[in-house]
Structure 1
Amino acid sequence: MNPTMRVLISEFRQETNSFNPALSGMETWSQNGIYEGQAVRDRFAGTQCAVGGMIDAVDEHARELGHHEVTFAVVMAAQSGGITEQTVMDHYLQRLIPAIEAAGPLDVVLLSFHGALQTTDYDDPEAEIARQVRELVGENCVISVSTDLHAFISRELIASVDYVSGYQTYPHIDHYGTGHRAAHLGLKAAAGQARPTMAWVPVPMIVSAASYNTLDGPFADLVQHAHHLVESGELIDWSIYQMQPWLDVPGGHSAVLAVADEAGQAAAQAKDLARRLYSLRHAFTTHLLSIDEAIDTAEKSTSGKPVIVVDAADSCNAGAAGDSMAVAARLLERGSSLRAATVVNDGAAARRAHELGVGATAEFTLGASRDQRAVQLRATGYVRSVHDGEFVQEGPANRGMVNKIGPTAVLRFGNLDVLVCDWMIGNGDPQLYRAFGIEPTLYDLVVVKAHTSFRAAYTPFAGEILETDTPGAAATELRRLPFERIPKSLFPWSDVESPEFPVAFSRSTPGSV
């Protein structure tokens, strides 16, 4: 009989925007619940998220090789936002460390991170968490991590872990698959089935998240090339990271990871992928329309389909405050006849609508509820509906995920419907509108506060998708943002034709530590 394998699963995941002035505290991190023990399996098993993929991978491995003893440690995840208060990370560690100690000798630790988290004390908190976990579990335990494609993968992080797997899609639709990949690598290594090596190469660039995707274009071609490397047996796993471009931290950079049976093969392919990524840097550009140009385009449209105005700079998915009314204000100022819809974070306004009740008419001030620099709107509106703010995503990303956005109301200002909530989640999912009575296909213009995540769901029914030059903490034009700490040796501030691509190895490589 095979000996029992001891596995621990945990998650601490948020994407930080350093330019959002509103800190993320425990209230933000508690919005979707904090889970431990059996509650983790009950909540996440079978769901399309990284933790769900990890759970299924462990269960599959157990059926193949025998019983596994699984500890479900603390699982905490928050919507992207401003820098996280250190007390939140302290709370996580205060729950994680005792769970590790109580579990006894562990064979595998599976961690779900975003990879672009920043706290008030740490610029690279995931590396610090991994370091502390390594000290607790010792040298023989395998630590495998799943992350977002937009992670900052530092040398310090890979010095403490064995494997890291990042999303391979953008829009992200492989949350589950990434958790499953990370778990599969770690479990096989711990079981002695395979002990492949992972190579890491930093890439001196950051580019706007609105300038590429894996649906088409040069980045999609690079991702397809990487998939061929796995299909041909040249690699076991790979991750190409375009670092989240609103993370203002020293030492930031993009990165490539490659996993292969031999260190030399992993290093060679990681360097080649890094060179290919860097060579595409000038291709990652976005043509932005002004807000008025976007409205003009929508007013001239004859397709009968909604024009999607992309307010990426105010995307909560990118950590912005989600409280700008820039497009809405301009629609009303122009007296546009377009039937339009938008969304805004303004909990006070939503609660006021609940107090007034459906059918009430009142003057509302919307916007700048978190970021005082945001554009506000003051106008007389009609309360169309009020809601508890719970909805289920239709996907394809996170299909079936239950989101809670707090007290919610739909306010009507002439031809403009505004979904007002406390904190939006699932910005790129049409159910953010549909669940509350705003059917996007019946509008002329729909504002979407996301960079690329929305394309998977919106492209099939959109007339045109217009990248728009709006104000906010997640602006597409990076050189407009007040970076103070990011290395200016990175592209786009520096443009070295043939930079060095140093290689380092994770702990999975003998002699790498």
Structure 2
Amino acid sequence: MARIIIGGFQHETNTFAPSKAKLDAFTSPGSWPALVTGTPLFEAVKGINISVAGFVEEARRLGHELVPTSWAAASPSAHVTDEAFEHIAGLIVEGIKAALPADAVYLCLHGAMVTESYEDGEGELLRRVREVTGTDLPIMASLDLHANVTPEMVERADGLDAYRTYPHIDMADTGARVARTLDALLKSGGGRPARAFGQIPFLMPLVRQCTMADPAGRLYGMIPEIEAEHKVSLSFATGFPAADIYHCGASVFAYGADEENVKRAVKQLVDEICAVESEFAADLPDPGSAVREAMRIAASADRPVVIADVQDNSGGGGDSDTTGLLRALLDNKAEGAAIGLLVDASAAEAAHAAGVGAEITLGLGGKSRVPGDAPLEGTFRVEALSDGQFTATGPFYSGSHMRLGLSARLSIGGVQVVVGSRKVQMADRMMYRFVGIEPEQMKILCNKSSVHYRADFAPIASEIIECAAPGPVLADPGALPWKHLRPGLRTRPLGVAFGG
């Protein structure tokens, strides 16, 4: 039995997003549990599809003793404030210090956190942890598939392992895989593993990182074969292409006993990725075109058409309050359509004050003032009300106890609008059902999500259409006003090199 200290700190930072992650973003529950410290951590994450839950279950099965520090997560947004970072990082580091001596440390991280003071939030956290543990204690971490991995992160850890699916249906599985890797390392009695790191020379649009389609699906399918061939732990992080930092972008990294095998594995996968660069390009229709195409298909389909509002994805840092796609539905007189989750706490509060059946006139959404967007002024009928609490059932959010705050179903022009008070990516059918919409019975479903919605909605969709309505999570990373990328990095597949 080994004594393993555990903790976690997850945030995906879009440096172009409208709102920062303050401490209350981590202390208020939404789609994930709120900041938790000590023994309550185990119950808070139990049964949820997140890495720390998978690690806990597998490490206990392997017979290890787990000592919890703190775990926290917040919805993607702009920078994590210094106050939030120092508080949560402090809890983790002090918790590790108090729990020593131990045999290892496991951290549930994201890999794309940018704070007000640090471009590489995880690298800084790992530096502080390593300062406390010394160089000999094994430190391993799970990462998101969208991690912007840095050389410092790779060097300061004895193992980093990223998700292999997008939608991320394997988060808990990844934590379990890390537990097995750490178990093997502890039993081997060897020193620090060899490591290798390679960066991909172009940014990948989020919508083309989906592993339910090629090229990503094909590339991730190669990982187990390469691991077996070279006897390494291998990861491919597609990166989060909305963080204006030096090490933004996709990378490949590996750990193992033999340095040459580790290097060969990384080079092999990097070469495979670069060979299909053109397949990562994305060109999406505007919302009007997307709605008209959806209406055409829906006229004869027996299942709903799903339109993804990919640029207002709260999972990518948006506030989920833009109205471009809703306007397109109304302008084209779409029937049997629903859209969600549109986050507007004041509208939800007004709906609750008025009651079911009432009509309210207000400006819905548009509070984040994204360029090209504005509140939708109109009169809405209150169709249903909710406290926003329910349990998700789909593959991505599986087991998560949602707390969206005051919520309502409003209607306007025959379109149903799901309104909540806390931002959560629309990636679970229960996010329609909790206000009385049966998604399978709608003609058109409009989801504010880039890819995660596919896990629960692809099985019921007659067709999926991605569209580019105004929002801060641009489908084309080459259109962002970059300033801090490393020279030579192409800002889109086959695009112009930054600084060139």
What residue is the counterpart of 1:427 in the other structure?
A: 426
What residue is the counterpart of 1:87 in the other structure?
A: 83
Query: Which residue among 10, 13, 37 is the counterpart of 1:16?
Result: 13
Seen in structure 2, the aligned counterparts of structure 1 residues 96 and 342 have a Cα distance that, compared at 3 Å, is closer
Instruction: Name the SS for the 1:178 alignment partner.
Output: helix
Structure 2: distance between partners of 1:300 and 1:46: 41
What residue is the counterpart of 2:221 in the other structure?
A: 224
Instruction: Show CA shifts across 1:370-399 (max 9, x none).
Output: 345433211101111111111212121231
Amino acid at match of 2:194: T
Structure 1: distance between partners of 2:224 and 2:68: 32
Structure 1: distance between partners of 2:12 and 2:396: 17
Query: Which residue among 92, 95, 106 is the counterpart of 1:110?
Result: 106
What residue is the counterpart of 2:61 in the other structure?
A: 60
- 1:306 partnered with 2:304: yes
Structure 1: distance between partners of 2:412 and 2:148: 42
Structure 2: distance between partners of 1:288 and 1:127: 35
1:236-247 pair list within 5 angstroms: 236-247=232-243
**TM-score of the two chains, using structure 1 as the length reference:** 0.91
- 1:211 partnered with 2:212: no
- 1:178 partnered with 2:174: yes
What residue is the counterpart of 1:266 in the other structure?
A: 262
1:154-165 pair list within 5 angstroms: 154-165=150-161
CA deviation after TM superposition for structure 1 residue 408, in Å: 0.7
CA deviation after TM superposition for structure 1 residue 333, in Å: 3.0
What residue is the counterpart of 1:167 in the other structure?
A: 163
Amino acid at match of 1:355: A
Instruction: Name the SS for the 2:53 alignment partner.
Output: helix
1:30-41 pair list within 5 angstroms: 30-32=27-29, 33-41=34-42
Identity of aligned residues (%): 26
Instruction: Show CA shifts across 1:151-207 (max 9, x none).
Output: 011011122111000001111111011111222222322333566533221222211
Structure 1, 182-191 or 249-258: larger mean CA deviation: 182-191
Query: Which residue among 335, 343, 346 is the counterpart of 2:344?
Result: 346
Query: Which residue among 233, 246, 252 is the counterpart of 1:250?
Result: 246
Residues 241, 249 of structure 2: 8 Å contact kept:
no
Residues 234, 265 of structure 2: 8 Å contact kept:
no
CA deviation after TM superposition for structure 1 residue 313, in Å: 0.3
Instruction: Name the SS for the 1:110 alignment partner.
Output: strand
CA deviation after TM superposition for structure 1 residue 142, in Å: 0.4
Structure 2: distance between partners of 1:49 and 1:336: 37
CA deviation after TM superposition for structure 1 residue 496, in Å: 9.6
What residue is the counterpart of 2:413 in the other structure?
A: 414
Structure 2: distance between partners of 1:396 and 1:218: 22
What residue is the counterpart of 1:405 in the other structure?
A: 404
**TM-score of the two chains, using structure 2 as the length reference:** 0.93
Amino acid at match of 1:466: I
What residue is the counterpart of 1:325 in the other structure?
A: 323
Structure 1: distance between partners of 2:256 and 2:225: 14
Seen in structure 2, the aligned counterparts of structure 1 residues 106 and 371 have a Cα distance that, compared at 3 Å, is farther
Structure 2: distance between partners of 1:306 and 1:493: 32
Residues 299, 338 of structure 1: 8 Å contact kept:
no
Seen in structure 2, the aligned counterparts of structure 1 residues 194 and 220 have a Cα distance that, compared at 3 Å, is farther
Instruction: Name the SS for the 2:422 alignment partner.
Output: coil
Residues 319, 423 of structure 2: 8 Å contact kept:
no
Amino acid at match of 1:58: A
Seen in structure 2, the aligned counterparts of structure 1 residues 235 and 434 have a Cα distance that, compared at 3 Å, is farther
- 1:26 partnered with 2:20: no
What residue is the counterpart of 1:487 in the other structure?
A: 486
What residue is the counterpart of 1:65 in the other structure?
A: none
1:445-464 pair list within 5 angstroms: 445-464=444-463
Amino acid at match of 2:162: G
Amino acid at match of 2:210: N
Structure 1, 376-385 or 437-446: larger mean CA deviation: 437-446
CA deviation after TM superposition for structure 1 residue 464, in Å: 1.4
How many residues align structurally?
488
Instruction: Name the SS for the 1:220 alignment partner.
Output: helix
Structure 1: distance between partners of 2:369 and 2:10: 23
Instruction: Name the SS for the 2:156 alignment partner.
Output: coil
1:367-382 pair list within 5 angstroms: 367-373=365-371, 374-382=373-381
Point out where structure 1 has 5 or more consecutive residues left out of the alignment: 63-67, 498-513
Structure 2: distance between partners of 1:408 and 1:258: 45
CA deviation after TM superposition for structure 1 residue 119, in Å: 1.0
Residues 154, 195 of structure 2: 8 Å contact kept:
no
Structure 2: distance between partners of 1:477 and 1:152: 17
Structure 2: distance between partners of 1:235 and 1:440: 45
Structure 1: distance between partners of 2:215 and 2:79: 32
Instruction: Show CA shifts across 1:414-452 (max 9, x none).
Output: 311111111232422121112221222222211111111
Instruction: Name the SS for the 1:191 alignment partner.
Output: helix
Instruction: Name the SS for the 2:37 alignment partner.
Output: coil
Residues 75, 424 of structure 2: 8 Å contact kept:
yes
Amino acid at match of 1:320: G
What residue is the counterpart of 1:335 in the other structure?
A: 333
Residues 22, 371 of structure 1: 8 Å contact kept:
no
Structure 1, 188-197 or 137-146: larger mean CA deviation: 188-197
Structure 2: distance between partners of 1:110 and 1:402: 24
Point out where structure 2 has 5 or more consecutive residues left out of the alignment: none
Structure 1, 337-346 or 129-138: larger mean CA deviation: 337-346
Structure 2: distance between partners of 1:212 and 1:72: 33
What residue is the counterpart of 2:385 in the other structure?
A: 386
Seen in structure 2, the aligned counterparts of structure 1 residues 444 and 189 have a Cα distance that, compared at 3 Å, is same
Instruction: Name the SS for the 1:200 alignment partner.
Output: strand
Seen in structure 2, the aligned counterparts of structure 1 residues 488 and 403 have a Cα distance that, compared at 3 Å, is farther
1:64-83 pair list within 5 angstroms: 68-83=64-79
Residues 194, 255 of structure 2: 8 Å contact kept:
yes
Residues 301, 462 of structure 2: 8 Å contact kept:
yes
Instruction: Show CA shifts across 1:204-252 (max 9, x none).
Output: 221101013222322211111222223x443342111111011111232
Structure 1, 52-61 or 266-275: larger mean CA deviation: 52-61
Instruction: Show CA shifts across 1:279-303 (max 9, x none).
Output: 2211112231221111211222211
Residues 5, 106 of structure 2: 8 Å contact kept:
yes
- 1:396 partnered with 2:395: yes
Structure 1, 45-54 or 400-409: larger mean CA deviation: 45-54
